[in-house]
Structure 1
């Protein structure tokens, strides 16, 4: 009968974790962490049967994968607005929540989040006031360029 030792699981874990460098999908690593957990359990309980080892590895891998997608991935989302799509914001309108002058940026708020954010920095060629309604006419980097649509 094949006797799997703890260090086999450790090597398997390292191979899976290092393969994440070659295949950057950020999914293989969770199976590697599952194998690492089984290696730790094997050092504590060396007589664990192969069936229980495989079952433990499967459960641990599923647990780590769910943990990643349900909790941690949301907190690590890219909050920058780099590479925003001009078509997605062009023509959208919102309210000024922090006034801008010709030499300072203001902040506008959309009623529905645009590209994942309700509030955006903006530039306007005229001075704006709190509560003004503005419309997006262009994008410059991470800043919207707007025009006043009510006076």
Structure 2
């Protein structure tokens, strides 16, 4: 079985919103289309990932496991695309993610002195995305503030 990343993205949106209507709006698709895609994903996986009841939409144990595994998988897929595009441009680059208040200039100057052919970019991060930028490939390295979700 090949896993469809689009369906996985749809699943993550519903899992994060716990509401098909809001997830459909977020994804800019019609709710019936989203529902069909989630049913198709459940059929492919052989497991229900949502409990659709009077209390609303809840994750099943299988859905919780899928969400735990899907988020880093989608981040890796995004990182792969970014790395391939960067490689196709033929220019080596290094993107450093950093939190405000952390001084990275001396390290950047030292790196560029030793590697003048590498394009160094700085990416300011926040508490909410300092790990996400590493997982999805927006940054190659990160200078983070603890604690972080490893």
**TM-score range relative to shorter protein:** under 0.3
TM normalised by structure 1 equals 0.27
TM score, norm. by length of structure 2: 0.27
Comparing both structures, which one devotes a greater share of its residues to strand?
A: 1
Structure of higher RCO (CA pairs closer than 8 Å, 6+ residues apart): 2
Structure 1 or 2: more helix by fraction: 2
